Amino acid sequence: MKIKVRIAEKKKVQKAINTPFIRLDAFLKLCDAVQTGGHAKLVIQDGEVRVNGEICTQRGKKLHPGDVAEFENVLYEVVS
């Protein structure tokens, strides 16, 4: 008996910034991934956010164009 498994693709969202970088907490807010800066702080500190595939607990982490943040199975890419 064979079991087939389908792995759902993650949703991808691109968000443009007009500055050289953006802080991770501000980026999550900009993308509407979180409702408030306080919510962003909590999910980042709890290790629920990945940046470029690695768990990131620094809410002030600078994201540059090409960086990808992941939260709740959604990929948010910084574009210029």
69 part of a folded domain: yes
Give tens-digit pLDDT for 22-57: 999 999 999 999 999 999 999 999 999 999 999 999
Domain tally, the chain: 1
Alpha helices in the chain (DSSP H): 24-30, 37-45
Q: Do 67 and 75 form a contact (C-beta atoms < 8 A)?
A: no
Q: Do 69 and 63 form a contact (C-beta atoms < 8 A)?
A: yes
Domain of 65: which CATH number?
3.10.290.10
pLDDT at 8 over 80: no
3 part of a folded domain: no
Q: Which pTM does this prediction carry?
A: 0.88
- The band of 15, judged by pLDDT with boundaries at 50, 70 and 90, is very high
CA dihedral 50, 80, 11, 34 (to 10 degrees): 60
Quick one: residue 25, left, alpha or beta (phi over 0 = left, psi -120 to 50 = alpha)?
Answer: alpha
